[in-house]
Chain A
């Protein structure tokens, strides 16, 4: 089975610029998650989708971050404008609705300078 696909792998932007990340989950996985992992820390959930609906976005900084999953399959996460503290790896993961652990993509490493 193909894994969770993410792009790009790396991105370097200047502060106040915007950036977007893309994720395609494993086929059949209705639940999709975006995590932020800052160096030396555990992943922090930003947003969880069930199909194309948002289940949990309580930790998403909504003044600058947005995410969508319009057709219930792939998803994009956007940051606008970026801050230095947004430098992190952005991980996408997907699972069946039972949520018994899930599979991560390879992540996008964002550096804001």
Chain B
């Protein structure tokens, strides 16, 4: 079982819609969770971090964490074409190791 799993997509949504990205992790004791955005040919860029159950909002982005279900999600409201990228979920496990998922490719259609 992989440490972090994501649906690779591709996920396509129309401009203005809500994009929903999901991630599950295997180490139940993990405490820190991150979402990175990676444009083609560029390095990953941190967009959200979350450490406790519930929702965390930052502008059009909302990260949701459910530790009981070992599930992290990222919602992007009012999706824009500039949001088209690969979104990477990362988890810091109980061994203080960082693991990334394989990423979900998102395309926002104008």
Chain A contacts to B: CB under 8 angstroms: 33, 40-45, 48, 55-56, 58, 91, 99-107
Among the listed B49, B96, B103, which residue makes an inter-chain contact with A42, where contact means beta carbons less than 8 Å apart? B103
Instruction: Output the nearest chain A residue to B47 by Cβ-Cβ distance.
Output: A101
Q: Are B45 and A104 in touch, CB under 8 angstroms?
A: yes
Which listed residue, B45, B96, B100, touches A44 by the CB 8 Å rule? B100
Q: Provide the main secondary structure of the chain B interface.
A: strand
Is B46 in contact with chain A by the CB < 8 A criterion? yes
16 further A-B contacts with Cβ under 8 Å, apart from A43-B100, A105-B43, are A33-B98, A41-B102, A42-B88, A42-B100, A43-B44, A45-B98, A48-B97, A55-B96, A99-B92, A100-B32, A100-B49, A101-B49, A103-B46, A104-B44, A106-B42, A106-B43
Q: Which residues of B contact A (CB under 8 A)?
A: 4, 32, 34, 42-46, 49, 88, 90, 92, 95-103
CA distance A56 to B42 in the complex (A): 25
SS of A interface (majority): loop
Q: State how many angstroms separate the Cβ of A81 from the closest Cβ of chain B.
A: 27
Instruction: Give A99's nearest chain B residue, CB to CB.
Output: B92
Provide the residues of chain B in CB contact with A107, threshold 8 Å: 43
16 residue pairs A–B, Cβ–Cβ below 8 Å:
A41-B102, A42-B101, A43-B88, A45-B98, A48-B97, A48-B98, A56-B96, A56-B97, A99-B96, A100-B32, A101-B46, A102-B46, A103-B46, A104-B45, A105-B43, A106-B43
